[in-house]
Amino acid sequence: METLPTHDPSKSPAALDLRGLRAFLAVAEELHFGRAAERLGMAQPPLSQLIRRLEQGLGHSLFLRDTRKVELTAAGQALVELARDLFSRLDNGLKHVHAVGRGEAGRLVIGFTPTVALNILPRVILRFRDDYPDVEVGLFEMLPDPLHEALDSRVIDAAIIREPSEDLGKRIIPIFLEPFVAVLPATHPLADPDTPFDLGMLRSEPFVLFPHDRGSRNLAKPLALCAEASFVPRVVQEVPGWQTAVSMVGAGIGVSIQPASVTQLQSPGVVYRRIPSKIQSVVALMTRPQDERPMIANFISASAQLMGG
């Protein structure tokens, strides 16, 4: 008859080691100490000692043993289910830990400027989510200066920004280039797509453009395009964003120059004409220079694929 192990009050179930539980589970599944020891790659006497210490810690026999067979006690049967559940949870938890360590799980917070929201941002996020579906992505829309501050203070992990400054101590990775378009009222003589067009034809028109201030870095290239066409635009209305610019053009206040993403705004009374030029709008990914986390590297890799696609 199996003798009840002597309970050691200094050992509680919480203190039971995983090695002992794995040994117990092997014996419970094999119902044979020799086969269990072989499966675990150990000798049988140390295995028997592990089981004995486990029984003493619990204060219950886990196996009925005789010379012919090994059987589970009621306590042993209950422990089998607990051990299997514990190891399943542990294995899943460790898989998650490894995924986080590889940057394949966790949370990534991305800041972006309004002018990338129409076209570039959705493409970047879709690409990243396809590659890393277990990463939760948080999004914050900001103007450029607050975006830099949020990156410095670690409120966000990375930023997607148009026409970034190169002298602010950030890592800048261009991810997308796009041409510019002229935004014209639908009633304009040059709105007909079959009519030949170049930007110089708008030299006498009133313009709706972004203001000259630190909050907007999206004016320099439209001005460079006008200079390339040998004129300085006559700005009659400054606007804070694309939607306002398009609405003003649609109302007949003037014409505008914007990156081609603005064509996503299908506003009544507005026509877009592409401006042939090597001057293009640059969208870049911005990160802290020393941030070498795998998740950041993964996001850079997914974002950079846009440049080639």
Residue-level pLDDT at 216: 60
Q: Are residues 186 and 273 in the same domain?
A: yes
Contact 263, 181 (CB under 8 A): yes
pLDDT average, residue stretch 63-76? 89
Per-residue pLDDT at 58 exceeds 60: yes
Over residues 148-167, the pLDDT tens digits come to: 999 999 999 999 999 988 76
Q: Does a structural domain hold residue 201?
A: yes
Cα 284 from Cα 281, distance rounded (Å): 10
Q: Which amino acid is at 245?
A: A
Cα 187 from Cα 251, distance rounded (Å): 11
Q: Are residues 94 and 36 in the same domain?
A: yes
- The total of structural domains in the chain comes to 3
Domain-terminating residue out of 101, 126, 160: 101
Cα 42 from Cα 23, distance rounded (Å): 10
Q: Are residues 244 and 115 in the same domain?
A: no
Q: Are residues 91 and 24 in the same domain?
A: yes
Q: Are residues 192 and 215 in the same domain?
A: yes
pLDDT average, residue stretch 213-225? 80
Over residues 112-149, the pLDDT tens digits come to: 998 899 889 999 999 999 999 999 999 999 988 899 99
Which residue matches tokens 């006559």?
A: 234
Percentage of residues in the chain with pLDDT exceeding 90?
70
55: which 2 tokens? 């029984």
Q: Does a structural domain hold residue 4?
A: no
Q: Does a structural domain hold residue 5?
A: no
Q: Single out the residue of 220, 189, 192, 193 nearest to residue 205, CA to CA.
A: 189
Beta strand pairing call for 180-185 and 171-178:
unpaired
Which residue matches tokens 């030299």?
A: 203
208: which 2 tokens? 């709706």
Q: Are residues 260 and 211 in the same domain?
A: yes
Cα 246 from Cα 209, distance rounded (Å): 10
Domain-terminating residue out of 101, 131, 155: 101
Owning domain of residue 22: 13-101
Per-residue pLDDT at 47 exceeds 70: yes
Q: Does a structural domain hold residue 110?
A: yes
Per-residue pLDDT at 5 exceeds 70: no
Cα 137 from Cα 120, distance rounded (Å): 16
Q: Are residues 21 and 154 in the same domain?
A: no
Q: Does a structural domain hold residue 3?
A: no
Contact 157, 108 (CB under 8 A): yes
Q: Are residues 270 and 191 in the same domain?
A: yes
Cα 254 from Cα 164, distance rounded (Å): 27
Q: Does a structural domain hold residue 229?
A: yes
CATH code for the domain of 54: 1.10.10.10
Q: Are residues 93 and 226 in the same domain?
A: no
CATH code for the domain of 273: 3.40.190.10
Domain-terminating residue out of 101, 130, 149: 101
Q: Are residues 152 and 238 in the same domain?
A: no
Q: Single out the residue of 236, 174, 171, 178 nearest to residue 209, CA to CA.
A: 236
Beta strands in the chain (DSSP E): 63-65, 70-72, 106-112, 135-141, 158-162, 171-178, 180-185, 206-209, 234-238, 256-259, 270-274, 281-287
Q: Are residues 91 and 122 in the same domain?
A: no
Q: Are residues 113 and 69 in the same domain?
A: no
Q: Which amino acid is at 290?
A: Q
Could you tell me the sign of the dihedral formed by the alpha carbons of 163, 164, 166, 171, in that order? negative
